Chains A and B, each alone.
Chain A
Amino acid sequence: MEAHLVLSLSQYPVISFGTGSAVRLPGPSIDKPNIYSFNTTTYDEMYNSLKEKDPRLYHANGLLGMLDRNRRIKGCPERWQDWRVGVPRKDGVEDGVVDVVVTCEERCWDIVVEDLTNRNSPLNRLVHIINVDIKDNHEEALVGGKGILELANMLSEAARDEREKAGPNFVRETVDGRVPEVLAKWQERFPGLPALWTVGYF
Chain B
Amino acid sequence: MAAAQGLSSIEDQLQQLGSARALVLTDPVYWPQVLHGILPIVSGPVVELRRWGADFLAETFSTPVVEAGEKLNLAVACLDTMVRLMDEREAGILKSVVQCSASVYPLIFRYICNNREDAATWKKMDVLKAKILSLWDTGPVGVRLCCIKFVQRVILVQSRGVTDPRLADRSEISLSMVPTNHPILSLPALDAEAQGLLDRLLSVLHEDPRQGNTVTTIATNDGESSRITGILIINSDATLTTATLNNLAQLIKTRSPIAAKIVNAVLSFNPLAIVSRSSTIQNRLMMQCMEKTVRVLLLNIVRANPQGPFTSKVTQHLNRLSRMKADLLEELSRKRAAPAPDNDAVKRLKTDQQQQHAVVTPTPTPPPVPPQQQITNGPMSYAQLYSLSTDVAMTSFDGQQLPLELILEIINRSMYNVQQHNLDAAISAVRNRYATLLSAPPSAPPRALAQPASQPSGYAPPPATTDEPHARPLPDTTESRVNKREKEEDKVESNDEDEEESELQLGKFCLPPPPNLTREDLCESSFDAVNRIFSIIDQFDKTSLVSRKSKLGVMRLAASNWDREGWTTLITRLATRGMGGIQGEDIKPEEGSSTLQKPSALSNFIRDKLYHFIIEDFRGRMDIAISWLNEEWYNDRIMAKAQPSRQPQYKIWMMKVMDGIFPFLEGKDRMFMRLLSEIPEITVELLQKVKMLCLDPDRAVLGIQMLHFLAMLRPPVRNMCMDVLEDLWLNHTELRGQTHKLISKWRPEVLAPKPVAPPDENTGTPEAQVAGNALSGGVNGNSETASSSDNTNNAPVAP
Contact = CB atoms under 8 A, between A and B. Distances in A.
Interface of A: 21-22, 30-33, 35, 37, 84-88, 94-97, 109-110, 113-114, 116-118, 120-126, 162-163, 167, 169-181, 183-184, 187-188, 191-192, 194-202
Given A95-B25, A95-B59, A117 B300 contact: yes
Interface in B267-309: 280-282, 285-286, 288-289, 292-293, 296-297, 299-300
A114 B298 CA distance: 10
A200 B59 CA distance: 17
Given A30-B663, A126-B142, A173-B140, A184 B280 contact: yes
B693 to A, nearest CB: 9
Q: Which of B90, B91, B139 counts the most chain A CB atoms within 10 A?
A: B91
Contacts of A201: 149, 243, 246-247
B285 A180 contact: yes
A113 B246 CA distance: 8
Contacts, number: 178
A199 B246 CA distance: 7
Given A114-B300, A124-B149, A86 B63 contact: yes
Contacts of A191: 341-343, 346
B246 A176 contact: no
A24 to B, nearest CB: 8
Q: Which of A122, A174, A196 counts the most chain B CB atoms within 10 A?
A: A174
Contacts of B695: 35
B351 interface: no
Q: Which of A32, A162, A177 counts the most chain B CB atoms within 10 A?
A: A177
Interface of B: 22, 25-26, 58-59, 62-65, 89-92, 94-95, 99, 102-103, 138-143, 145-146, 149-150, 153, 231-232, 235-236, 238-239, 242-243, 245-247, 249-250, 280-282, 285-286, 288-289, 292-293, 296-297, 299-300, 341-344, 346, 659, 662-663, 689, 692, 695-698
Nearest to A200: B246
Contact of B239 (A31, A162, A176): A176
Contact of A124 (B99, B249, B286): B99
A198 B293 contact: yes
B302 to A, nearest CB: 12
12 contacts: A87-B64, A109-B292, A117-B300, A126-B95, A173-B91, A174-B141, A176-B142, A181-B231, A196-B288, A198-B289, A198-B296, A199-B242
B140 A170 contact: yes
A174 B96 CA distance: 11
B663 A31 contact: yes
A138 B528 CA distance: 41
Contacts of B300: 114, 117-118
A28 to B, nearest CB: 12
Contacts of B145: 126, 176, 199
Contacts of A188: 281, 341
Contacts of A116: 246
Given A31-B662, A126-B142, A201-B246, A174 B92 contact: yes
Contacts of B242: 197-199
Contacts of A163: 92
| Nearest 6 A/B pairs, CB to CB | A177-B141, A174-B142, A184-B282, A191-B343, A176-B142, A123-B62
Contacts of B281: 184, 187-188
Given A94-B22, A187-B285, 20 more contacts: A30-B663, A37-B697, A117-B246, A117-B297, A122-B62, A123-B62, A124-B102, A124-B146, A124-B150, A126-B146, A170-B94, A171-B89, A174-B92, A174-B141, A175-B142, A178-B141, A178-B235, A180-B289, A198-B289, A201-B247
Given A180-B235, A180-B238, A201-B247, A113 B293 contact: yes
A174 B343 contact: no
A174 B697 contact: no
A86 B235 contact: no
B103 A124 contact: yes
Contacts of B58: 125
A21 B63 CA distance: 27
A175 to B, nearest CB: 7
A62 to B, nearest CB: 21
A110 B296 contact: yes
A172 B281 CA distance: 28
A129 B482 CA distance: 65
A117 B250 contact: yes
Contacts of A170: 89-91, 94, 139-140, 143
A113 B91 contact: no
Nearest to A33: B696
Contacts of B139: 170
Q: Which of B26, B90, B95, B142 counts the most chain A CB atoms within 10 A?
A: B142
A196 to B, nearest CB: 6
B285 A87 contact: no
Nearest to A123: B62
Contacts of B232: 177
Nearest to B665: A31
Contacts of A125: 58, 62, 99
B239 A179 contact: yes
A198 B242 CA distance: 6
Given A113-B293, A180-B239, A173 B142 contact: yes
Q: Which of A118, A175, A199, A201 counts the most chain B CB atoms within 10 A?
A: A199
Contact of A126 (B89, B99, B299, B698): B99
Nearest to B105: A124
B65 A88 contact: yes
A172 B90 contact: yes
B279 to A, nearest CB: 12
A172 B91 contact: yes
Q: Which of A85, A86, A117, A183 counts the most chain B CB atoms within 10 A?
A: A117
Nearest to A124: B102
B782 to A, nearest CB: 32
Contacts of B141: 174, 176-178
Contacts of A123: 62-64, 103
B108 to A, nearest CB: 14
A202 B102 CA distance: 12
A198 B292 contact: yes
Q: Which of A96, A178, A184 counts the most chain B CB atoms within 10 A?
A: A184
Contact of A117 (B103, B292, B296, B662): B296
Nearest to B697: A22
A179 B689 CA distance: 49
